[in-house]
A and B are shown apart, each in its own frame.
Chain A
């Protein structure tokens, strides 16, 4: 098995954006609502959904690998599998992490822009609308067969 990095990174320039997520209570780190890991996963989900990823310029450690639970690991693996369409990637953890980091790097900007584009107080409503619309597009009945 390839080396498992001890942390996941963000681009240094993204730190500011992550801090500004505090404007919305649902995304807030300060005050203990969301962890960095959770913010990272959300940013990465935006990146994947919009099919954009971007290599990091200057890396900065964001959270430790040991904070990942089994579900988080499964999520990162599935993203890497989806991205490369090759199961071999599962043996290369550094590549799995890199893929996730690049999606998150692109996604944080999308998340931040979305946050700024909605009327103050309407972010949750917009998220809810997006969740429902995206859910309706999925055909989830096939999943467990």
Chain B
């Protein structure tokens, strides 16, 4: 199914414009080029207005203007009725279906805006070999829903500027809804399932009215089923929150990748500061000790020759007996006087007497000097011993100080490293991410625990429901007059079970198909084939793009890659749904850098081989990078310009030369 022709009459900037999209080439690719404000986005709005009655991409300026073309208003007479009409003609295999929306406005010069009178919407199906058939509004809507359902038109006509936010905004629920629509299980989920459930409740209540016990069981069963429904929603909500917190953790991990553990590092820095202080104090103390030893040693070592000389003198005097042995002159005098040794009381003979007299003479002769010499001996020896000891200690202290200084260098080096790390990473942000991650982790844990509790409750409730249903059935069997009612109840119940099961299987299958097709298309079209490993659609219908290193990288890919993913997903939807509808993109490369425009050009070229693709560019968007890929293969190219008064689009077709 492709758009063959669009006609706009008095719709906003379009006074009377007809655009054909013929395709004789291999590529069904069409371009519309126009500056901002020239009408490109309103062209998209016109399509939406025609098919669905709304204008989802209106700019703030356009919202202030009437739907009716300004020139048409100004040239109309007072009280005249003016039509706004947009016609979109589709074709498939020579069968045309033309949708037309027509709105009538009455002009009153005194009013700011024309007054809306009526709107009609209809469709005409025509073919060569059949009579045309006109469909009224209701029928036209049904037809339209069959190939571009309103709920998923964002996947057919979309604004490229929003593609960057596609997966930020397109949460799992949007994708789930899209899948429900395209697989038509909306039919099952929103209509058949709840209606069968209603009927079943009514039948059970009817049975209850015949038997009070049955009535009681029915009530309990209904209550239990309601609780089960609510529990199911709660569990779904829990799963979602678990997924959100998991994504949050992954996001934080991504931000923190390569970033050091700030808390641990700051603790290390704190410890290093303490170590530095302690080491410095140690060094200072040892330097002080060393200074004292040095001072003392300087004196001793420089005076050492005099010490050594003096000690030599003492030694010689002692050898020469000029320094007497230590003896008391009083004792010696007393011995001579008494002619008796004062110590042993032996009588002194002549030899002994001579000896004592000699000793006394020695002592008397040199007692002053001898004493001086004796007095200096010990301190000087002590000085020299101390000097030797000091030199050893000096050496030890020097080694210790060197070692501590090396330690200090290492501490300061590590502190520098840490301070550099802290400077490089925005500590505030890092702290924030760590805290966020902690928050997500706690939330994740909490929700997991909650899920466990809810699932346990669900299990018990399931058992209770089965028990009540059994009770109900047993009671029904006893009631002979309820045989027919019983048949209907069981039949309805079984049908409901089959519908629910069918719905779930199809959802799952459709999801898997879309996932697989998205993956195939993405990996076929992506230019960085080695970077990504997989695409997953989770049970909550969130899309994940998996990096070859194993993590989800949807949040960190470029705008072009995100656009390609959105495109692949959309094309997968088209493929799986079987809707052979065109794809129309307004400003498709708005957020894409030059180098990737060429890549996207190749992508559009590829896509347009199997699907009508209409792209609306601004002149600056349609740069060489992209035009060199698509100019030579495109079919129609139109340029929108505004008239001099800037209230009307002037259309120009550029044929391919």
Which residues on the B side are within 8 Å of A143 (C-beta)? 307-308, 311, 381, 384
**Interface 1/0 per residue, B277-315 and A, CB below 8 Å:** 000000000000011001101110111111111110100
Interface residue stretch chosen among B386-394, B439-447, B503-511, B546-554: B386-394
Least distance between B547 CB and chain A CB atoms (Å)? 58
How many residues of chain B get a CB closer than 8 Å to chain A's CBs?
39
B373 within 8 A of A: yes
Interface residue stretch chosen among A11-19, A53-61, A80-88: A80-88
Least distance between A66 CB and chain B CB atoms (Å)? 17
Further contacts, 10 of them, CB under 8 A, given A26-B291, A138-B305, A143-B381: A48-B302, A49-B303, A74-B376, A75-B303, A79-B306, A81-B313, A87-B369, A90-B372, A91-B368, A134-B301
The answer to whether B294 touches A82 (Cβ under 8 A) is no
Which residues on the B side are within 8 Å of A75 (C-beta)? 303, 307, 379-380, 383
Bound CA–CA A88/B366 (angstroms): 10
B131 within 8 A of A: no
Which residues on the A side are within 8 Å of B368 (C-beta)? 1, 90-91
Q: Which residue of B lies closest to A38 (CB)?
A: B295
A120 within 8 A of B: no
Known interface pairs A90-B369, A138-B308. Does A77 touch B376 (Cβ–Cβ under 8 Å)? yes
Least distance between A90 CB and chain B CB atoms (Å)? 4
The answer to whether B291 touches A124 (Cβ under 8 A) is yes
Bound CA–CA A81/B376 (angstroms): 11
Bound CA–CA A62/B388 (angstroms): 30
Which residues on the A side are within 8 Å of B398 (C-beta)? 128
A115 within 8 A of B: no
Least distance between B373 CB and chain A CB atoms (Å)? 7
Which residues on the A side are within 8 Å of B309 (C-beta)? 78, 81-82
Which residues on the B side are within 8 Å of A26 (C-beta)? 291, 294-295
Q: Which residue of A lies closest to B372 (CB)?
A: A90
Residues on B facing A (Cβ under 8 Å): 290-291, 294-295, 297-299, 301-311, 313, 317, 368-369, 372-373, 375-376, 378-385, 387-388, 391, 394, 398
Which residues on the B side are within 8 Å of A48 (C-beta)? 302-303, 305-306
The B-contacting residues of A in range 5-60, CB under 8 angstroms, are: 25-27, 34, 38, 41-42, 44-46, 48-49
Instruction: Give the dominant DSSP class at B's interface.
Output: helix
A3 within 8 A of B: no
Which residues on the A side are within 8 Å of B381 (C-beta)? 143-144
Which residues on the A side are within 8 Å of B384 (C-beta)? 140, 143-144
Q: Which residue of A lies closest to B395 (CB)?
A: A132
A118 within 8 A of B: no
Bound CA–CA A27/B166 (angstroms): 80
Known interface pairs A42-B299, A127-B298. Does A135 touch B387 (Cβ–Cβ under 8 Å)? yes
What 7 pairs across the A-B complex have the smallest Cβ distances?
Answer: A74-B379, A82-B306, A45-B302, A78-B310, A49-B302, A90-B372, A74-B376
Known interface pairs A45-B303, A91-B368. Does A130 touch B298 (Cβ–Cβ under 8 Å)? yes
Bound CA–CA A142/B388 (angstroms): 13
Q: Which residue of B lies closest to A132 (CB)?
A: B391
The answer to whether B383 touches A71 (Cβ under 8 A) is yes
